[in-house]
Amino acid sequence: MQVLVLNSGSSSIKFQLFTMPEAKVICSGMVERIGLDNAKIKYQSEQIAIEKEEDIKNHKDGLQLIANYLMDDKIGVLQSASDISIVGHRVVHGGNTFAKTVEVTEEVKRKIKELSSLAPLHNPANLEGIIVAEEIFSQANQVAVFDTAFHQTIPVEAHKYAIPNTFLEKHNIRVYGFHGTSHKYVSEKAIDFLGIQQSKIITIHLGNGCSMTAVKNGKSIDHTLGFAPMNGLIMGTRCGDIDPAILFYMVNTLGYSLEEVNMLLQKESGMLGLTGYSDLRDIEAQAEKGNTDCKLALEMNAYRIKKYIGSYATILNGLDAIVFTAGIGENSDLMRSLVCENLDFLGIELDTEKNRIRSKETRTISLPSSRVKVLVIPTNEELEIAKQSFAVLS
C-alpha cells in the first residue's frame, strides 16, 4: 500500500512516499518558498535527486507539482494519483478534541479550523494541505495526525493552570504540548533500544522549535510547551519561559501594542534576539570566533534545558535515559556537551569521543559508568505519521 505523508507549513510542503507496512521510503522532498519568486522543489528517490526553481504561487500549485513529479514518465514512481491509498497529514493542534489519529471527515476539518486560533501559524496551513490533497488525490483516504495527541496523557495536576477553574472548564485553557509525533517516535525507539518496559525517559527535541517531555512507561506526563508552542526552552525566534509581568510592563509602560508584543516574542526573540542569528550553526561559528553574545546565548540555552532535566527527573522519581533529537539535538555535539556538563550528580556522564561522532543511527554517547544513558536518536516524524495513518485504516 502506498502512503503519502504531507507536512504543510505556511510557505512549504514536505512530503515522503512510503510502502506500508514495510515502511520503505520510495521518495521524498519538499516544496519551499511558496509564493516567492525563487520558489523551488526538491525531489529525491533511489534513482534521482532534483532541486529546481519553479513558479509556485500557492499550496494547490505546490501539491500539484509534487503529484506531477511522482507521476512523471521519466522520474516518477507512480502510474496515477489513484496509486496513493492514504494521505497522512501533520496537524499541529488538536486541542481537547483529538487524543488520537483520525480519518478526515467534514466534521474533523471543521474542528481543525476552529482550533486555528490556538495555532494560527500552523493549523490553517495544515488544513489547506488536507483540502488540496482531497482534490488531487481524491480516491485516497485522508488521515490527520496531531502533534498534541501524545500529550493528552499529561495528568491534570500538570496540565491545569492555576487560574480560575472556568478557564479550563469553559475555554479549554490548559497545557497541550507539541512536537508529540517526534517525542512519541524517539521515546518508543529509546524503550526498544534500552530493552526495558518500565522506563523513565526525558526526550529533548531541539530544532528551531524546542521542547522536552517527561515520558514514563511510554506515556507523556509533562512537557515544556503549554497552551501554545511558545514557552519552555529558548528557541530560534521564540523566547520560551518569561515572567508574564514583563508583558504588562511592555504594554502599559513602554507603549507596545499586544500585536507588537506577540510579534516580538514569537518572531524576534530567542536566539535571534540574543545574537542576531536564529540558526544555531551560525551562532556556534560566531561563538568560536569570540562573539560574546553568541557564547552567552549557548550557555543560556543549555542552562534552561538543564533546569528542565532536573525538574523532570524529580517528577519521574528517577531517570533511565535522556534522548537528544531533531536538527540541533542530533547534530550539535557542542550543545549536547553544554547540556550534560556538571550533571554527574544525576548519574549523567558524557563520553566526549562518542559525542563527536556523526551518525544517522540510534547511539549511546554516555560513558559505560553513566547511571543514566545519554542517547541520540534521529527523529522521523514522517515515518511515525505513515505508521499511525496506516494503523487507523487497517
The residues assigned a catalytic role are: 147
Place of cell 488525490: 137
Q: Which three cell numbers stand for residue 370?
A: 553513566
At 43, the amino acid letter reads Y
The phi-psi region of residue 17 (left if phi > 0; otherwise alpha if psi is between -120 and 50; otherwise beta) is beta
Q: What is the 3-state secondary structure (H, E, C) of the chain?
A: CEEEEEEECCCEEEEEEEECCCCEEEEEEEEECCCCCCCEEEEEECCCEEEEECCCCCHHHHHHHHHHHHCCCCCCCCCCHHHEEEEEEEECCCCCCCCCCEECCHHHHHHHHHHHHCCCCCHHHHHHHHHHHHHHCCCCEEEEEECCHHHHHCCHHHHCCCCCCHHHHCCCCCCCCCCHHHHHHHHHHHHHHHCCCCCEEEEEEECCCEEEEEEECCEEEEECCCCCCCCCCCCCCCCCCCCHHHHHHHHHCCCCCHHHHHHHHHHCCHHHHHHCCCCHHHHHHHHHCCCHHHHHHHHHHHHHHHHHHHHHHHHHCCCCEEEEEHHHHHHCHHHHHHHHCCCHHHCECECHHHHHCCCCCCEECECCCCCEEEEECCCCHHHHHHHHHHHHHC
Query: Dihedrals φ, ψ of 324, to 5°?
Result: -95, 135
The count of other CB atoms within 10 Å of the CB of residue 320 is: 19
